[in-house]
Amino acid sequence: MPDNTTAADNPPPQNAALVLLGGGARTAYQAGVLGGVGEILQAQGWPTQRNPFPVVCGTSAGAINAAYFASRCAEWPAALHELQTLWSTLQAHEVFEVGTGQLLRGGARWLGLMAFGWLWKQNPRALLDNTPLADTLGRRVHFDAVDAAIQSGALRALSVATSSYTSGRHITFFQAHPEVQPWRRPGLWGIAQPIGVEHLLASSALPFVFPAMPLYGEVGPEYFGDGAMRQLAPLAPAIHLGAERALAIGVAEPHPEAGQMRRHLPPYPSVAEIAAHAMSSVFLDTLRADAQQAGRINRMLADLPPEVRADLPYRPLPTLTLLPSTSIDAIAARHWHSMPRGARLLLQSVGMGTGRGSALASYLLFTPDYLSALVELGRADALAQRDAITAFFNLTAPDPHCA
């Protein structure tokens, strides 16, 4: 017999969190997943006036999606639809300068300073100039609306993860209901501060690729880079902000198969291959581990008597993790030709774009055909997980050990 339970019949737990990890252009996948989630919720009769994610946490380019949604969460169906459109139509010139001459001069200067900057006492800033991204964010994200959503009760908190090059701390900036307090753990701080363009630029500043951003931390001005660096517990901000469960969307590659035995040593890895491997470690590998840890704690707490559980400093965080079913690296390899010529020439010089270098291209290929493919993949993956998503929102009987 079909289950006709709707959100109106079975209210969900308060303060469900949306946790969005980053990965440059790969983050378009999240827009597709959220579009699919929106379709599922609307089909189940979720009220349009009830934001399904009162807590929104973003890291790296995921912080851009988080801020975009938080600023429009009072009308969440339209927000999720518009987020898909934003990514499907985004072009490279809206993210970084793409003029051939400017790119090649900037790249040559960056490489020169990497090698000889000590002679002139200058530090290289970044390979690409992301000034256009600041303008794009200023036009697309309604930062003033975040505070209005908090005041109205539609939103409890928005957080943006960053990493300080100055102090070495992993710092989460958050804008939230007044009852949410800052936190300090060894190397991990939470600082209350109105979120703006500069926070998103800092959180999404891919190391070496985009420049670090100055922000005012608790002990003064510091330079901040991509929030995925040193982020060992991506679910932690959601817990600090009062979430009772979390839907986390990552952009990691599917687990690789063993493959065939190799008789000969492959060619020495290119700069692009080494950089892609480093980025994969920085951006993509922590969500699975943190979700598994949350699952272990959930199961431990469920097995304890209530009186014992009440005395422990832990509480369950049911977590649903959604990840790509298909290799994003392979999709990037098929669409590499769409990169603007100047950027393609510069990035090909370090081995990016073909073969194993396509992994690095997957982070920087801000072209509509590639991004649209990721959006469609995300939507299909979400719809394929319809049962898990409806269970997460208590639209059907949830799994208490969900992780």
19 pLDDT above the threshold of 70: yes
Decide if 358 is catalytic: no
The amino acid that residue 142 corresponds to is H
**Angle at the Cα of 121 (from 115 to 125), degrees rounded to 5?**
65
Q: What DSSP assignment string belongs to 348-373?
A: HTTT-SSGGGHHHHHHH---HHHHHH
Q: Is 135 contained in some domain?
A: yes
Residue 258: inside a domain: no
| Catalytic one of 60, 88, 163, 203 | 60
| Tens-place pLDDT, residues 30-60 | 999 999 999 999 999 999 989 999 999 999 9
Tell me the pLDDT tens digit for each residue of 90-111. Answer: 998 999 887 555 554 554 454 5
Is 116 inside any structural domain? Answer: yes
> What's the rounded mean pLDDT across residues 160-173?
93
Assigned domain for 260 exists: no
Q: Higher pLDDT residue, 211 or 54? A: 54
Q: Across-strand partners of 246?
A: 17, 319
With bands split at pLDDT 50, 70 and 90, how would you rate the model's confidence at 276? Answer: low
Task: Spot the catalytic one: 71, 159, 226, 372.
Answer: 226
204 annotated active-site: no
Establish if 31 belongs to a structural domain: yes
Within a domain: residue 147? yes
What pLDDT band is residue 323 in, cutting at 50, 70 and 90?
A: very high
pLDDT band at 352, cuts 50/70/90? low
Is the pLDDT at 181 greater than 90? The verdict is yes
How many domains, in total, are found in the chain? 1
Report the pLDDT averaged over residues 271-277.
Answer: 60
Interacting residues of 244 by C-beta distance below 8 A, sequence separation 6+: 13, 14, 15, 16, 317, 318
What's the pLDDT tens digit per position in 120-163? Answer: 444 446 678 889 999 999 999 999 999 999 999 999 999 999 99
| Residue 138 located in a structural domain | yes
In a domain, 233, yes or no: yes
353-382 average pLDDT score: 85
pLDDT at 73 (0 to 100): 96
Tokens of 384: 């394929």
pLDDT for res 110: 46
Q: What percent of the chain has pLDDT over 70?
A: 71
Pick the range with the lowest mean pLDDT from 62-66, 278-282, 303-307: 278-282
Does the pLDDT at position 224 exceed 70? yes
Which domain covers residue 243, as residue numbers? Answer: 16-253+279-393
Rounded to whole angstroms, the Cα distance separating 97 from 174 reads: 30
Give the per-residue pLDDT at 309.
62
The pLDDT score that the predictor gives to residue 277 is: 63
| Sequence-ordered list of residues with C-beta below 8 angstroms from that of 267, at least 6 positions apart, any chain | none
How far CA 218 is from CA of 150, 172, 179, 184, 193, in Å, comes to 23, 11, 19, 11, 10
Average of per-residue pLDDT across 244-270:
75
**Cβ-defined contacts of 107-111 (< 8 Å, 24+):** 107/346, 107/349
Q: What's the rounded mean pLDDT across residues 206-218?
A: 86
Question: Is the pLDDT confidence value at 341 over 80?
Answer: no
Q: Which residue has the higher pLDDT, 115 or 160?
A: 160
The pTM for the full model equals 0.84
- Cβ partners under 8 Å of residue 99, min gap 6: 342
Mean local confidence (pLDDT), 206-227: 88
Tell me, what's the pLDDT at 138?
Answer: 95
